[in-house]
A and B are shown apart, each in its own frame.
Chain A
Amino acid sequence: MTLEVRKLTAGYRNKIVITDVSFELAPGSIMAFFGHNGAGKSTTLKTILGALSPVEGEVWLDGERIDRLPIPERIARGIRYLPDSRGVFPDLTVEENLDVVARMNAADSGARIAVADVLSMLPLLEARRGSYAGTMSGGQQQMLAFGLALLGSPRCILLEEPSVGLQPDLVEMLFGEIRRICAKHAISAILVEHKIASAMAISDHVLIMNNGAVVFDGPPAKARESNFWEFF
């Protein structure tokens, strides 16, 4: 398994938000992660990233326990996080954004995805190489943020609502890229989304959370039949 989350309990200061969350992610598979606002999706992702420390439970990546490691150590091992906003460096050009992240992560063993690869995968960025990220549209910035998350040797990408601010055809295009790239490089992804249909279309696996607990864990086909949609 690429990612294993075991009985994770976490929250903020003295408030537990998620309890006993467990799931697994096979290499190259995409997990759609649903739940109503405030269900605890972001809290789960932040705990996997390392921005929050778990009260209980474990996180394993490629057979290594990572829940005690600081954020940069987890990034070095292949965790990537795409925040729902502010995922770029606005004062740097597109090229500088990619360049600085690539160079600071170049030492990783077997860095597989370079700036050139990202530019060819996301041709929209190629066209705006010299633009300052802060001057680009929300959708363009979202593309760049995704590009930054791909650099190096990602193993598991945590995506926070990547479709926010994208026009419909770009959503389809971005999701198509995610599917293609994940499959090609055997990268796993967790896709937190409110565009349920689009997300389900590219997922191998659906996780639904309600009030901090996992209420559904299964394949998309089964999810479609279930009555968990009442949670939305």
Chain B
Amino acid sequence: MLFLQLLVDGLVSGCAIGLVAVSFSLYYSTTRVFHVAHAGIYTLGGYLAWYGAMQGIPFAIACALAVAGAAFAGAVIQRFLYDELERREATPLVMLIASLGALAVLQNGVAMLFTPNILQFPNPWRTRMLDLGIASVSYAQVLVAASGLAAFGALMWMSRRTLLGRRIRAVASNPFLAEITRLGPRSVYLAVMAIASAMAALSGIMVGLDQAMQPYTGVLVLLTATIAVIAGGIGSLTGAFVVAVALSVLQNVALILMPGRWSIAATFALFVVFILVKPEGLFRKR
């Protein structure tokens, strides 16, 4: 019973982390920029939706507006920060530092505009429980899992089946050729940033709805997500998602064997061993 409940909770949180991992991976493999400020976009999404919900806007609409707002914020970062730096041929280290700067601005901006305190969504239905027989989950948890899986599926479909998806994969695998075949790498970067930001924001909103929000928690989520991206095989979206879910389940279920203070350390230790044994990651990129 305890095991099953921990398993289900782990699967649910895994979907949220998976969304962050997949979107981070999508952006990284397309642009090769280690976009740490993604954690800030995750946070921003949650707070925007919270603000909307506090104004009495129905949750679905507040959520859509927040996702759009986060996508816009991401696009602004891309256009006015990363693009500018790349035009000046900044090194990856400079890009990383700029990203850290953007993260600080986002987190502190959110803390200043709203509050640095823990916030909860006002919607009362979010804590209602659903009995699945083997375990029970809250309505909000259902939304976390459903939105995570749906967004992941939509991304995979987009990547395989649409022109934009092909352009993204093309730009990711050969940016110079993309430039000289007029695939428009710069507009692809912008689109990828907007999509990735929207996905991170969606995850941030749903986790915020289920639990609560603080301006600075995004970084911890991104840390786990980054590990999933690396262990899943850089460039493999499926790998990032699957490993994120597995990592989350492991962190939850490990509690049965050891006290909570060890479970996070243990999963990360396992990750180090894994990387030593299989450095290319679980899912090799084609």
Q: Is there a contact between chains A and B in the complex with CB atoms less than 8 Å apart? A: yes
Inter-chain CA distance A97–B285, complex, in Å, is 18
Tell which of A31-39, A69-77, A199-207, A222-230 binds the partner. Answer: A69-77
Decide yes or no whether A139 CB sits under 8 A from chain B: no
The residue that A89 contacts in the complex, of B173, B184, B285, with Cβ under 8 A, is B173
Inter-chain CA distance A81–B181, complex, in Å, is 9
Q: Are B169 and A92 in contact (CB under 8 A)?
A: yes
Decide yes or no whether B123 CB sits under 8 A from chain A: no
Q: How many A-B residue pairs have CB under 8 A?
A: 65
CB distance from B189 to the nearest CB of A (A): 15
Decide yes or no whether A197 CB sits under 8 A from chain B: no
How big is chain B's contact interface, by range? Answer: 10 to 19
Q: Are B169 and A105 in contact (CB under 8 A)?
A: no
Q: Are B182 and A91 in contact (CB under 8 A)?
A: no
The number of residues on chain A lying at the interface, defined by a beta carbon within 8 Å of a beta carbon of chain B, is 26
Interfacial chain B residues near A27, Cβ < 8 Å: none
CB distance from B60 to the nearest CB of A (A): 34
Q: Are A96 and B180 in contact (CB under 8 A)?
A: no
CB distance from A128 to the nearest CB of B (A): 15
Inter-chain CA distance A81–B286, complex, in Å, is 26
Decide yes or no whether A104 CB sits under 8 A from chain B: yes
CB distance from B239 to the nearest CB of A (A): 14
Interfacial chain A residues near B170, Cβ < 8 Å: 89, 91-92, 96-97, 100
Q: Which B positions have Cβ atoms within 8 angstroms of A?
A: 163, 166-167, 169-170, 172-174, 176-184, 285-286
Nearest first, the 10 A-B pairs at minimum CB distance are A91-B173, A100-B166, A89-B170, A101-B181, A72-B182, A91-B169, A90-B173, A89-B173, A89-B174, A75-B182
List 21 interface pairs A-B (beta carbons < 8 Å), by A numbering: A72-B184, A75-B181, A75-B182, A86-B177, A89-B170, A89-B174, A89-B178, A90-B174, A91-B169, A91-B173, A92-B166, A92-B170, A96-B169, A97-B170, A99-B166, A100-B166, A101-B183, A103-B163, A104-B182, A104-B184, A148-B181
